[in-house]
Amino acid sequence: MKYIVCEKPGKFLLKEKKALVRKENEALLKINKVGICGTDLHAYAGNQPFFTYPRILGHELASTVLEIGENTKGINDGDNVVVMPYISCGKCIACRNGKTNCCTNLTVLGVHGDGGMQEQITVPAEILLPANNLSDNQMTIVEPLSIGAHAVRRANIKPDETVAVVGSGPIGIGIMKFAQIAGAKVIAIDMNEHRLTYAKEKIGVDYIVKAGENAVDKVSEITNGDLCTVVFDASGNKFALESCPDYMSHGGCFVVVGLSKGELTYIHPKLHAKEMTLMCSRNATSEDFEYVISVLDQFPTESFITHNVSFLDMINHFDSWLKSETGVIKATVNFN
């Protein structure tokens, strides 16, 4: 069985190993397609927190069940399934409170444990969701969209609120769409004009603003001086993260979705004066995955996936996906 492993930052190797054998309460899956996430890009570049090498990447998976035993999901051999790649302990304080997405002992496929950049994988049956109604492309993007859906649910957006989403990558685009579905007016903020254009033309955001020294003035103009009641950061960029509260109204909420490896600095009186609510949003829960699957027909899947290569060609293309000039929004790797 072939697999691709990230041996160390900047180095992939194509290898082979024996076929996997599932254990009790596990499923053996055939991998059909893998989405490339910012986590994968950062891991390859060597700046991903919570990461060790060598590691088989890949947690955005489209798959078919080869073998599965009795299970509560009604999933059978031959079914297509979405993999929720977060394996939680079920016992810690977070799990006991229903927050399995931030389990104190969390293992994420492709991050803490090996992921799906291999022809087959075994996973706990309990992290599978039936997906016979979805295409491979749709199954591949459920996980990143679920992260956006979770962030929007955390923010408890009300209809007609004006929200800003800083970062127009795959996660940010998902946040924009689910904020729209919740009834919000959306301002997309980014340095990348190609992605801003995509957000405007394909997602239908209300406004786009290029990040920079005049961005706050532009947001203020759009909102008649009110600024935004909710600001999401989906960039993980230090400068963007430190700038986000400037787009936020008094009494507003700042939701940190993007992950930065370093320290952040804020001027406390500016935050205090606004009585800012600060919250982080990590991963997603089964509720978020089920919601995304239920509304996925409202999302422009085919335009969202801009690059696709075969499994055996991935190593030759991965470097290019780190470059903004390639116009990549979501890259995928095909096993079929």
Assign 107 a pLDDT band (cuts: 50, 70, 90): very high
183 has a pLDDT exceeding 80 = yes
- CA-nearest of 86, 172, 89, 174 to 129 is 86
Residue-wise pLDDT tens digits, 140-182: 999 999 999 999 999 999 999 999 999 999 999 999 999 999 9
Residue 323 has pLDDT above 90, yes or no: no
CA distance 73 to 64: 15
Give per-residue pLDDT as tens, 213-231.
899 999 999 999 999 999 9
Angle at 292 between CA 290 and CA 296, to 5 degrees: 125
Provide the pLDDT confidence category of residue 13 given band limits of 50, 70 and 90. Answer: very high
* Average pLDDT rounded to a whole number, residues 116-128: 97
Residue 324 has pLDDT above 90, yes or no: no
CA torsion, ordered 51, 108, 169, 266, to nearest 10 deg: -60
Mean pLDDT over 241-257 rounds to 98
Q: How many residues does this entry show for the chain?
A: 336
If one counts every other C-beta atom within 10 angstroms of the C-beta of residue 237, the result is 17
Residue with tokens 């989405």: 35
Query: Taking Cα atoms as reference points, which of 250, 160, 167 lies closest to residue 209?
Result: 167
Task: Kindly state the percentage of the chain with pLDDT values over 70.
Answer: 100
3-state secondary structure of 277: strand
Which of 249, 154, 166, 173 has the alpha carbon at shortest distance from 212? 166
In this structure, are strands 248-256 and 305-310 parallel, antiparallel, or unpaired?
unpaired
Q: Taking residues 45-53, report their average pLDDT.
A: 82
d(CA 173, CA 6) in angstroms, rounded, equals 27
DSSP code per residue over 140-155: HHHHHHHHHHHHHHHH
- The answer, yes or no, to whether residue 50 has pLDDT greater than 80, is no
Give the integer Cα–Cα distance in Å for 248 and 166: 12
- Residues whose CB is less than 8 angstroms from the CB of residue 164 and which lie 6 or more positions away in sequence, other chains included: 186, 187, 188, 189, 219, 228, 230, 231, 232, 244, 247, 248
What is the Cα Rg of the chain in Å?
20
In this prediction the pTM is: 0.95
Topology annotation, domain 2-132+300-334: Quinone Oxidoreductase; Chain A, domain 1 (3.90.180)
Q: Which amino acid would we find at residue 107?
A: T
Which is more confidently placed, 26 or 48? Answer: 26
Q: Which two tokens stand for residue 196?
A: 């801003």
262: three-class secondary structure by DSSP: coil
Q: Is the pLDDT of residue 49 over 80?
A: no
Which residues are 33's β-sheet partners?
A: 62, 334
CB 314 within 8 A of CB 290: no
Q: Which residues, in sequence order, are CB contacts of 24 under 8 Å at separation 6+?
A: 69
Q: How confident is the model at residue 287 (pLDDT cuts 50, 70, 90)?
A: very high
Mean of pLDDT over the chain: 96
267 touches 244 (CB < 8 A): no
Domain 146-280, classified CATH 3.40.109.10, yes or no: no
- Domains of the chain by residue range: 2-132+300-334, 146-280
Lowest mean pLDDT among 35-39, 217-221, 331-335: 35-39
